[in-house]
Structures are given as C-alpha cells and as structure tokens.
Amino acid sequence: MNRRIGVYICHCGNNIAATVDVEKVTETVSSIEGVVVAKHYLYMCSDPGQDLIREDIKRYGLNSVVVASCSPLLHEKTFKKVCESAGLSPFLYQHVNIREQCSWVHDNREKATEKAIKLVVAGINRVKQHVPLKTRKVPVTPAVLVVGGGIAGIEAALTVADAGRKVYLVEKEPSIGGHMAQLDKTFPTLDCSSCILTPKMSAVGQHENIELLTYSEVVDVSGFVGNYIVKIKKKARFVDVDKCTGCGTCQAKCPVKVPNEFDMKLGMRKAIYTPFPQAVPNVPVIDTEHCLFFTKGICKACEKLCPAKAINFEQKNEIVEVKVGAIIVATGYDVFDPSVMPQYGYGVLDNVITSLEFERLCSPSGPTVGKILLKNGKEPETVAIIHCVGSRDKNFHEYCSRVCCMYSMKIAHLIKEEIPDAKIYEFYIDIRAFGKGYEEFYRRVLSEGVTFIRGKVAEVTDVAEKPEEEGKLIVQFEDTLLGTVKRIPVDMVVLAVALEPRKDSKEVAKLFSLNLSNDGFFLEKHPKLAPVSTANDGIFIAGTCQGPKDIPDTVAQASAAAAQALSLIDRGEYEIEAFTAEVNEEICSGCKACISVCPFEAITFDEEKKTAVVQEELCKGCGACSAACRSGAIQHKGYTHKQVFLELEGLTSYP
Amino acid sequence: MSKKKKESCGEDDFNPSIVGFLCRWCAYVGADLAGTSRIKYPPTIATIRVPCSGKVDPVYVLRALLDGADGVLIAGCHPGDCHYRRGNFFAYQRYRLLKAMLRALNLEEDRVKLEWISASEGGKYAEIVKKFSEEIKELGENPLKKLGTISEEDRNE
C-alpha cells in the first residue's frame, strides 16, 4: 500500500506547547517519506480539530493518520472514531503520547522537543505497517453479577433488575445488608438505618429478576467482557432454604451461645442463627465451629424441633456456575482495628469502644436494646469521642475516611438524645462537614452543647492522678487552639475508627483482575471521568471498595455502576479484541512452544497439518505466544515484530 | 551521525537514550500518572506501549541495543497482578535468560533492566527512570551503536 500519512500535533492549549516546540516537531516530521500533510493545532480533540483531520483525509486521500497529543488512554478512541467517520479503518491510526510522558514530565524545552520528535517518528514508522483488521462481534449475555450485598450491591442489583435484566447477587455472609444494617441512625437526616435499608433488602429478596446467593463466595471468573463464566461456592447452610419458614424455633432451642459478630461480639447468638432479625433471606445457618453436632456429634435439637423439617445435616458445599455479561464488585470495607494503637487502650480498658460497637449499643435491635450503657450497666455521664483513629495518620492510613467527622457528631447527638445531661467531648483535627446538609448538622450539634476540642488525644488511661479521676478513664490531650496539655476524666471513650480495605481485597482483586491503588482500595479507570469502570472492560466497582465514602455517595456510585453495566449488556453485541494472535502455517514448525505459554488455552494443535491453531474467541491478545515463537510463525496482530522494530527504529534513529 | 557522536564524547553532555517497554495495564498507566502528577524525570526515556511485559521478545531488547539505545527498561505488573495471569513471569524468565546471554557474549548486561511498576506508582516510575539514567551515564555510550550492525536488508526481514 502506498502510504499517504497525515500527522497532527496537538498543543493541548499550553499543556504541550509550553514545553514542546510543536512547530519544530511538525516541520521535522513533514519531510518523512510517506507524510503528505503535517499540522499542529491548539486542541486536536475539539470539534474543529476533529474536523481538520476528517477534511484532510478526504482532501489528501490519506490512508494513515498519526495524532500526537495526550495519553492514548484518553483520546485514542476519539481519533479512531474520527478516522472511521471519514471512511478510514480505525486500525490505520496511531496515537502518540507527548503530554503525560513528555511535556508534563520534562522542563528542558529543547530536550523535550527532541523526545517528542522521536516519539512522533516512531509513530509514523509504526503506522506504515498497520493494516485494516477485522473486528469481531460476540453476543453479550444479558445478565449481571453483583458481588457484595451491602447497600452498594443492593442498590446496583435493584437498578439492573428493575430494568428487566437478570442479576446474580452474591453475599459472603448469611444475610445481605452489609455494614449499613449494623448502623443505628444515619447522618445528617437521622433516618433510622434499618428503616430505610430493610425495604430495599426485602425488595431484593422478592425480586423476580434477582437470584440471591447468600453465604456464598465467587471462586473463579473466566471468559471475557460480555461473556463471563463465574463459579460460585454456595456454602452449606445445613438448612433447606425452600422448606424453612423462618419461624425461629431452632434458634430459640439451640443450647450453644456464641458472641454475635454482627453485634461486634457485644451480644450473643446461637450456633444456628440469622445474624439479625431482619435478615434476608430469613433462613438461619449452622455454624459448624460451635454446633454440638459438628463438634461432639450430639444434640440435633434443631432437627428434632423444626416444624418444617428444614434442617439437613447432610448438606454439602455446592459450586454453581453462572454466565453474565458484566460484573459489579461492591465488596465494601473493614473497620480499622484500634488495638494496634496501645495509647488508646482499646481491648485493654473497659468502656473504650469503636464507633461501630457504639452503633450496636445504640441500636434498638442491638445487645442492649438501644440503651447506651457502660460495662457496669450504668449510663455514662461523660463521653469522649476521638476522631481520626487510623485515618490521616502516616503510621496507619494517610487518607481521610470521610465519614468519621459526621458519624462522630451523630454519635454525640444520639447520646444527647438518650442522656440529655451527658457531657460530650469531641477531639478533632479538622471538622470536615462537606456534604449536603452536613455543615448544618455540625451547627446543630454545636448548639446542643457538645464540646469540640481541636487536638489529637495522646493517651487514654485509667491511672488516676487526682481524686476526681478515680475509677474513670482519663483522656490526656493537647488543646492546639489554646496550646495547653490537659486531662479530662470520662466514663466512655468512642474511637472514630477509619474505614480500610477489606482484608481479602488482594485476593478479590486477583479474582477479578482489578488493580489496587496505593491506599489498598480498588483502582478505578479514571478518578474523575471513569470512577466506576476498571481497567478490565465489563467489570465495574461501586461503594467503599473503591475508597471511603458515605451512604449517599455509595448509592450514587452503585446506580452509576448499574447504568454502566446495563449500557454494556443491553447492546446485545460486543466488539472484542481484534489484536489476537495468528499462525502462519507455512512457517510454523509445530514445536508447540506457544501452546505451553498461552495462559488462556487458546492455542490448539492441528495433528493433520502439524501446526498450531489459534482459537480467536479465546485469545486475549497478550502476545506471550509471539514472544515464545522462535520462527516468527505466530504473529500478534496490531503488535507484529515488524511494527515493533519500526517503532524502535524511530525511537533510536533521531537525532 | 558521526559528527553527533564526536560531540557527545565528553561525559557531561552524554545524554543516554533509553527505550522503555511498558505494559499497558500497569507501568504505562503508572508513567501517565507521573505525568498527571507532574513528577519530573530526565528526558532520556522514550517508551513503547506493549500489551504485557510477557510480550517483550528478548529479540526486541537486542534489536534496541543494536539500533543504538543505551539502555532498555522493561516494566510490567507486580508478580501476581498480571492481567493475563502469568505474562510477567514469562518476562522475568526471559529477562534472566537474556542477562545470561549478554554475559556470555561479553556485553554489558546492566544496560537492560526489568522492573515491576503498578498503575498507581507514578513516583516509582520517575525514580526508576532517574536512577537508571544515572546508571547508564556511568556505563557510557552503548558500544554497539558504532557498529551499525543491522543492514537495510536485515531490517526488512
């Protein structure tokens, strides 16, 4: 093909032009063989910029286009579409990154310009080897897998299901609800958490389009965007879901008491249990670690007494396989364990509790039936709330957990509501009341007589120095506004603990091929413009697994993820990787090296021809085979050796 | 070309030319992040975006050195994070083999480097480029540059 190449250099306002001499780049590359037209323009991605390319393609009969601008992650698709709209195959386009990896990282204009020229020359060299490829369309499975049954997962599942699409909602625990089910009231409106959550939970349980898989875990994900095959392990409940009526007799009669994890181990549950009364599904599970039958082979009281004959000790773990087009990961967070900060005495001193433990104390369905009580059963008269425990702390998490300021103020308000005479101290670094109605809530709590002290608490101790400190917890702190060190005796200390990535987030990331950001939460595709997408097309993230956030933001993100998933599965077809491997049968020696390296088992051996054969629909275009092939028989379309060599030559030949 | 070489004989004005093969899932995004965070590093490196570090045929590295690159950086995802399950392990195996081969041929193996850089490690990318540039400066100009070994005919192969 006689190449007629158009080269376009973007100024990106001043982002590129300030450091790279775009005129010099344009002039230098215009003399390269095959380049018919070379131009520079203020914003190539703008409408006039795009029109410029379209017009040139027609006017000069261009058959290849190179644009040097920002990262290909941002605008490669834009310009490919421009080519397509002008009747040129998008595969005859090459993108060159002279912003993120050139103008933004170098100061020396001369050197940056030289580098930009190298990069553009490499791009021109490469495009000369581009050929139009055929894109393949595959049908999309119109179903979505949602992983995690907290408020994010619930919201996402309902949105997709309401659109008439099948949803598989997988939850690790025996019931959906997540952390939100543990909360008492929610800031700033003071809606009772279960009052707003429970209707959504039962909607999930009853929805004809939602298949709820609780007490289950995803164990394997294979396939590709639009066509994932997911294996889910359904752990044995030892209770027949279809027969159980949720009457609760088994739980009442079970003789074994175990600290309830849902109540932060402040209350007790039985060995056969539902974590909380509003559980969905309202079907108990048997905890094999504590059940007398599983530990000692005796009892079976539940089996004997169950009126529905739903108990089945023979039940086994089961693996189910589902096919989905898109996956929404909404696995949530863990709370920071403050026992690693010995200065606060958590786990050592009585009445030093975490905020989540406080939520259970305050909840009407909690261990104290909503009464805020000390270990000795009395009401606290003074309470200290310590902000930023584990957050904004270089030793633990550098980030701000975003919800602690607000829930700390809510806790103060709830104590005031229950015990009006209580004296409450909030120890804060900064107050971050950023959301709708949040600042107003702060004012309200201030007006209720809560004392705010700016300063980080150095120590919580029970060693009294004065008579009035006897039998109390003493909070020692520096008031940074007054510049003094002080001690205050209190009855209860609430630690506003950080939200942190779940302990199993690395394994989950691996399962779904997600990346982690520096803070350990899942990494989104773009922090601003693609906040629920990931590097893996077809896999979306929502809620606190992406970073700490409050309920409104979580719900908004979950709806966004659901919309993205719907827009993918409702297309009916999905265009997949055109850059697959291809075997040249004439050269292939049949050594099978490629077969052994292919991670997707996409290469088979043709016994008749004695050559390797690529199964295109399984190939993901990683290129491992082409790097292993010693004869060059297996070529990676879009990344052929020739294309790479020519690109290399461009990078090394100038100046 | 020859004139250019004479000029760059002095140690001070030797500007190494490094080729980077960056995995598009992690290191390339990390390098972009260095850009969006405006973390500066020397303009010694120019990169090629590859689908996976396991795609980097050792021949690419040799070709880069023969073409006159003073150093070659291969950067992929951290072990266990490969988008294609195990491409970075292949990259590691091939890297070890390549180093052994360079040693056997009495070539400077330190001109080739393999690093794991995630999509969130923009700072690490900049640091690696800085450090590697210094190391290459110490080594001096790639002696293979003067050979001009690849004929036009070979290139077209």
**Confidence category of residue A54, pLDDT binned at 50, 70, 90:** very high
Could you give the residue ranges of the DSSP H alpha helices within A430-550?
A: 438-447, 505-511
Q: Quick one: pLDDT at residue A270?
A: 95
The verdict on a CB contact (< 8 Å) between A105 and B80 is no
Q: Is some CB atom of chain A closer than 8 A to the CB atom of B49?
A: yes
Say whether B119 and A515 touch across the interface (CB within 8 A): yes
Please determine, for residue A555, whether its predicted confidence score (pLDDT) is greater than 80.
Answer: yes
Residues of B in contact with A102 (CB under 8 A): 43
The mean pLDDT value for A560-564 works out to 98
SS3 A349: coil
Over chain A, what is the mean pLDDT?
A: 94
Cβ–Cβ contact B59 with A under 8 A: yes
Q: Nearest 5 degrees, angle CA A641-CA A643-CA A649?
A: 100
Point out the least confidently predicted range of A94-98, A175-179, A333-337, A525-529.
A525-529
Helix, coil or strand: residue A142: coil
- Indicate the helix (H) or strand (E) that contains A557: helix A551-569
What mean pLDDT is predicted for residues A366-391?
95
A541, A543, A515, A517: which is closest to A530 by C-alpha? A541
pLDDT of A347-362, one tens digit each?
A: 999 999 999 999 999 9
pLDDT tens string A57-78: 999 999 999 999 999 999 999 9
Nearest CB among A111, A647, A652 relative to B69 is that of A652
Q: Which of A72, A628, A651 sits opposite B49 (nearest CB)?
A: A72
At residue B11, the pLDDT reads 43
Structure tokens at A76: 């490669």
- Cβ <8 Å between B48 and A624: no
pLDDT tens, residue by residue, A567-600: 999 999 988 778 899 999 999 999 999 999 998 8
In the stretch 109-138 of chain B, residues with CB closer than 8 A to chain A read 118-121, 126
Q: What angle separates helix A641-653 from helix B58-67, to the nearest 10 degrees?
A: 30
Q: Could you say which of A71, A639, A644 has the minimum Cβ distance to residue B32?
A: A71
pLDDT of residue B137 exceeding 60, the answer is: yes
Q: Does B148 touch chain A (CB under 8 A)?
A: no
**Residue A137 — very low, low, confident or very high, per pLDDT cuts 50/70/90?**
confident
**Is the per-residue pLDDT at A130 higher than 60?**
yes
Question: Which tokens sit at A412?
Answer: 């103060």
Does A597 sit within 8 Å of B46, measured CB to CB?
Answer: no
Distance from CA of B120 to the nearest CA of A (A): 6
| E strand or H helix that includes residue A232 | strand A227-234
- Provide ipTM, 2 decimals: 0.90
How large is the average pLDDT for residues A137-159?
96
Closest residue, chain A, to B2 (C-alpha): A655
Contacts of B26 in chain A (CB under 8 A): 515
Residue B72 at interface with chain A, using a CB cutoff of 8 Å: no
- Find the farthest-apart pair of alpha carbons in chain B and give their distance in angstroms, rounded: 48
* Buried b or exposed e, range A322-338, using 16+ CB within 10 angstroms: bebbbbbbbbbbbbbeb
> Is the CB of B29 less than 8 angstroms away from the CB of A535?
yes
Taking 70 as the threshold, does the pLDDT of residue A208 lie above it? yes
Choice among A151-165, A378-392, B93-107 with the minimum mean pLDDT: B93-107
Whether the Cβ atoms of residue A558 and residue A330 lie closer than 8 Å to each other: yes
Confidence of residue A2 (pLDDT cuts 50, 70, 90): confident
- Asked if omega into A467 is within 30° of 0 (cis), the reply is no
The answer to whether residue A85 scores a pLDDT higher than 50 is yes
Instruction: Assess whether pLDDT exceeds 90 at residue B154.
Output: no
Residue A212 pLDDT greater than 60, yes or no = yes
What average pLDDT does the segment A530-543 reach? 91
- pTM assigned to the model: 0.79
Residue B153 has pLDDT above 90, yes or no: no
Of B19, B56, B80, the CB nearest to A627: B56
Tokens standing for residue A416: 């005031």
Q: What is the pLDDT of residue B150?
A: 57
State yes or no: pLDDT of B13 exceeds 80.
no
pLDDT beyond 60 at A604: yes
Q: Kindly state the helix (H) or strand (E) to which residue A583 belongs, with its residue range.
A: strand A581-583
